């Protein structure tokens, strides 16, 4: 069994949302954002820090340059230097109690961002989507901590995880990409770890970084665990993302 290896040396607080830039692949590797007030771009082994006024939960690349970022209080468009240019919407959760967490884009370039309910007293978080015309829409509720966003290659399924509740969901999508009723894909027992960041591979299998489980697990489209890789690094699995907003 192969042992996971780090791609580069990096020290930071809770690195999140690693993203591959197809347009800059010759000069840019992974883009990894730090949710505690900074963003880090790794270019040929060098780190560039972009300062933000608030925590950054997730982001995506924009087709014409710059980013769309989910800050604690709301979602913004920025330029390539991370300067805030246009506010898209407020955080539909209470920003004092819920910050944005995981997110990304679907194949049509729509941006998804989920929140994490800080108090932990009930499932007060949600998952929202920003369409190509920049219209925001809440698409799922009854979540404690939104995570693990991924889409099947045939565009039929959206996968998400709720990390504190130790569950992975999948949601059917219609031809327009609108979600139906979510269903449980996999639940986890104490000792297995809880599902964090995720990605879908070319065979349609779902990879999940199992927080507190010290492993990365691969699941079939039917939810069967196929492989498990022990990992001493607390890290997320990367997911491809390139928005058209």
102 among annotated binding-site residues: no
Q: Which of 154, 196, 201, 212 is catalytic?
A: 196
- Classified as helix, coil or strand, 102 is strand
101 among annotated binding-site residues: yes
Other CB atoms within a 10 A radius of the CB of residue 85 amount to 10
Beta strands in the chain (DSSP E): 15-20, 30-34, 38-43, 46-51, 56-61, 67-71, 74-78, 84-90, 98-105, 111-117, 125-130, 136-143, 146-151, 157-162, 167-172, 183-187, 194-200, 206-211, 215-219, 225-230
22 among annotated binding-site residues: no
Is 196 assigned a catalytic role? yes
16 among annotated binding-site residues: yes
Instruction: Check if the beta carbon of residue 157 is closer than 8 Å to that of residue 172.
Output: yes
99 among annotated binding-site residues: yes
Buried b (16+ CB within 10 A) or exposed e, 4-27: eeeeeeeeeeebbbbbbbeeeeee
Distant-in-sequence, close-in-space partners of 117: CB < 8 Å, separation ≥ 6: 93, 97, 98, 123, 124, 125, 143, 144, 145
Binding-site positions for substrate = 99, 101
Q: Would you list which residues are annotated within the binding site?
A: 16, 99, 101, 147, 196
Detail the residues annotated as belonging to a binding site for a divalent metal cation.
16, 147, 196
Catalytic residues: 196
């Amino acid at each position: 069994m192969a042992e996971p290896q780090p791609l580069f040396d990096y020290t930071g607080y809770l690195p999140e949302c690693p993203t591959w830039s197809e347009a800059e692949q010759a000069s840019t590797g992974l883009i990894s954002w730090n949710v505690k007030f900074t963003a880090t771009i790794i270019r040929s082994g060098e780190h560039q820090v972009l300062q933000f006024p608030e925590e950054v939960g997730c982001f995506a690349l924009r087709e014409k340059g710059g980013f769309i970022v989910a800050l604690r209080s709301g979602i913004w468009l920025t330029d390539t230097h991370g300067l805030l240019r246009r506010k898209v919407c407020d955080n539909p959760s209470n920003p004092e109690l819920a910050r944005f967490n995981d997110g990304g884009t679907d194949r049509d370039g729509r941006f998804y961002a989920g929140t994490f309910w800080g108090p932990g007293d009930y499932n007060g978080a949600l998952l929202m989507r920003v369409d190509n015309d920049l219209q925001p829409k809440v698409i799922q509720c009854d979540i404690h901590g939104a995570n693990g966003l991924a889409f099947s290659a045939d565009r039929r399924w959206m996968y998400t995880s709720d990390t504190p509740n130790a569950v992975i969901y999948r949601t059917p999508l219609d031809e327009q990409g609108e979600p139906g009723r979510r269903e449980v894909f996999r639940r986890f027992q104490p000792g297995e770890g809880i599902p964090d960041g995720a990605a879908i591979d070319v065979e349609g299998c779902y990879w999940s970084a199992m927080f507190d489980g010290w492993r990365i697990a691969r699941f079939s489209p039917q939810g069967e665990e196929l492989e498990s890789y022990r990992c001493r690094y607390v890290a997320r699995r990367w997911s491809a993302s390139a928005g058209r907003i």
